[in-house]
Structure 1
Amino acid sequence: MASLLLRSLTSSSSAAIAGVGSRRLLPSLARAAASRFFVRSMASGSFQKVQIQRDDTTFDAYVTGKENAPGIVVLQEWWGVDFEVKNHALHIAQMNPGYRTLIPDLYRGKVGLDAAEAQHLMDGLDWQGAVKDIRASVNWLKATGSSKVGVTGYCMGGALSIASAVLVPEVDAVVAFYGVCSSELADPSSAKAPVQAHFGELDNIVGFSDVTAAKALEEKLKSSGVPYEVYIYPGCAHAFMNTSSDGIKRRKEMGMHDEDSAAVELAWSRFSSWMSHYLLSP
């Protein structure tokens, strides 16, 4: 597969994306975020660690939330299973009337502590294998008490969420945040599950999560025939949903200084309405 090059998240540069396999995410960003960012994970007691089997591979996953509630697979950014994706999974699990969330460890225990390490980890990701992990995660939730299961994700995980709407027939609904998979992995015009997607107006990762990518996704979803919603948030840059103190610090080190709590609250409200409509209905 062709390599991907995302040159910058700063307002002075653009980014290009092509292909699916190893992804070159922001070489200049790695220099800008040179300080190592140590992960502050949520308390381990918040999650139950389980092992999920698919093909001849076993991988770890982290589950929290109400037993037998509808399930939502929560997919990581390029950092791995770090504090931020755990924050998102906990937030979703606590939404009324409650969900069971599961984070599959797509990196098999590795976490990027700075941008250069995250780049290396994403470069090595087997994207088709990650889709298989997602399908196994969806089926695990369904086999253990969740009658319906959605998928959501952020950046890299957002792109994989879109792919799951196309390639994982067991998925009941998808919400993707600032990421679109390339057509080599999965063509959104062939989506089979309802898709809601969220993008920042100031996101300039061209072809992946900028406004152009958002509008192109909307056109493809329109042709798919599935229910869809695509939202663009004025004044917001990439990863605007990351609102923990550590997440805000990390975004600022990467040149993203926007903070819009109203936009985040609106996005979560739309997420909740979408998932409840498709996962809680009979």
Structure 2
Amino acid sequence: MASLLTVGAKSLSLLRLPTHNLPPFASRLQIRSMAHSSSAFNKIQIQRDDTTFDAYVVGKDDAPGIVVLQEWWGVDFEIKNHALKISQLGSGYKALIPDLYRGKVGLNVAEAQHLMDGLDWQGAVKDIRASVNWLKANGSQKVGVTGYCMGGALSIASAVLVPEVDAVVAFYGVPSPELADPAKAKKPLQAHFGELDSFVGFSDVTAAKSLEEKLKTSGVPSEVHIYPGRGHAFMNTSPEGIQRRREMGLTDEDEVIVEQAWSHFNTWMSRYLSS
């Protein structure tokens, strides 16, 4: 089932994430404002073109930077968990989360779908570029991009469309061909997928293997990891994240696999972001 997003004058076709086997939600859509930031994060504002957006930063000022891109939920507890974890990996990173939804967060699948459907994807790429440049202007000599689900797709797009990026790690998401063709990636790119991911054409095994072939065509250094027995969003391991996955019918949990993925992530970013 496809939905159409209008980006400027051009329609961008995006697969809707499937909502079968999910609990029912109220028909009236309510978008709540984002909760107060964790005290570990410094809230900043970044200017790009004629707009300003909030971002959340954690980590050492002079460390390599990593832009961390949200799932379709928005800037919520789980993406902050990921950014905090990233800031503490290896010798440390400076992690920055741009608020692509401008303060809105989906608290259930219907809300998240609505927010993702309304996203200006090309505008989001501009936000990513502005975030990368902010990090480079504020102490980070090299900057990577990572993201999850929707953010994973945008991460891959940044490897194609954002020249200032130095390396990318994407989790379970591939951009539509109208947004970015991975065969044209210009930056080292590592990607992670679950073997049992059922989001056809977006993050299932077929999409992962297609991405792998396109990256070979691109000629950039690349790795695609497919984890056996794992479904979508397998990196979400907080109690709240596990509960939300269970409500979506995703019951696979494996801390060993998650730590393996983090190890691959850190090895990749350390290789390409070291000065």
- TM above 0.5: yes
1:8 counterpart residue number: none
Could you say which residue in structure 1 is the equivalent of 2:258? Answer: 264
Instruction: Answer yes or no: is the 8 Å Cα contact 2:33–2:104 preserved in 1.
Output: no
**1:27-176 maps to which residues of 2 (within 5 A)?**
27-28=19-20, 31-32=22-23, 34=25, 44-176=38-170
**2:12 and 2:258 mapped to 1: Cα distance?**
29
Task: Please give the TM-score of this superposition, normalised by the length of structure 1.
Answer: 0.89
Deviation at 1:220, TM superposition (A): 0.4
1:247 equivalent to 2:241? Answer: yes
Distance in 2 separating the partners of 1:39 and 1:268 = 30
Q: Secondary structure at the match of 2:75?
A: coil
Secondary structure of 2:179's counterpart equals coil
**CA distance in 2: counterparts of 1:39 and 1:273, whole angstroms:** 36
- Residue 24 of structure 1 deviates from its aligned partner by 3.1
Q: 247, 255, 276: which is aligned to 2:270?
A: 276
Secondary structure in structure 2 of the residue aligned to 1:263: helix
- Cα–Cα, structure 1 residues 39 and 132, in superposed 2: closer, same or farther, change >3 Å? closer
Could you tell me whether the CA contact under 8 Å between 2:33 and 2:103 is conserved in 1? no
Conservation of the 8 A alpha-carbon contact between 2:18 and 2:199: no
Q: Partners in 2 of 1:28 and 1:109 — Cα distance?
A: 28
RMSD between aligned residues: 2.2
Off by >2 Å, runs of 4+ in structure 1: 19-29, 33-36, 38-44
Counterpart position of 1:193: 187
8 Å Cα contact 1:39/1:113 also seen in 2: no
**Quick check: 40-49 or 59-68, which moved more?**
40-49
Report the CA distance between 1:185 and its aligned residue. Answer: 0.3
| Conserved 8 A contact 1:81-1:105 | yes
Report the CA distance shift for 1:241/1:191 in structure 2 as closer, same or farther (over 3 A). Answer: same
CA 1:103 to 1:259, structure 2 compared with 1: closer, same or farther past 3 Å? same
Q: Is this contact kept in 2: 1:21–1:123, CA < 8 A?
A: no
C-alpha spacing 1:62/1:28, structure 2 compared with 1 (3 Å): same
Q: Give me the identity figure in percent.
A: 73
> C-alpha deviations, 1:40-76, integer Å up to 9, x for none?
9686211000000110010000000001110000000
Distance 2:33 2:238 in 1: 12
2:15 and 2:201 in contact (8 A); partners too: no
Gapped regions of structure 2 (runs ≥ 5): 5-10
Q: Distance in 2 between matches of 1:214 and 1:248?
A: 23
The residue number in structure 1 matching 2:175 is 181
Structure 1 gaps, min length 5: 5-18
Q: Say how many residue pairs are matched.
A: 266
Listed one character per residue, the Cα deviations across residues 84-112 of structure 1 (whole Å, up to 9, x for unaligned) are 00000000001120000000000000000
Q: Name the structure 1 match of 2:17.
A: 25
Call closer, same or farther: CA 1:119–1:199 in 2, change over 3 Å. Answer: same
Compared with structure 1, are the counterparts of its residues 39 and 83 closer, same or farther at alpha carbon in structure 2 (3 Å cutoff)?
Answer: farther
Equivalent residue number for residue 7 of structure 1: none
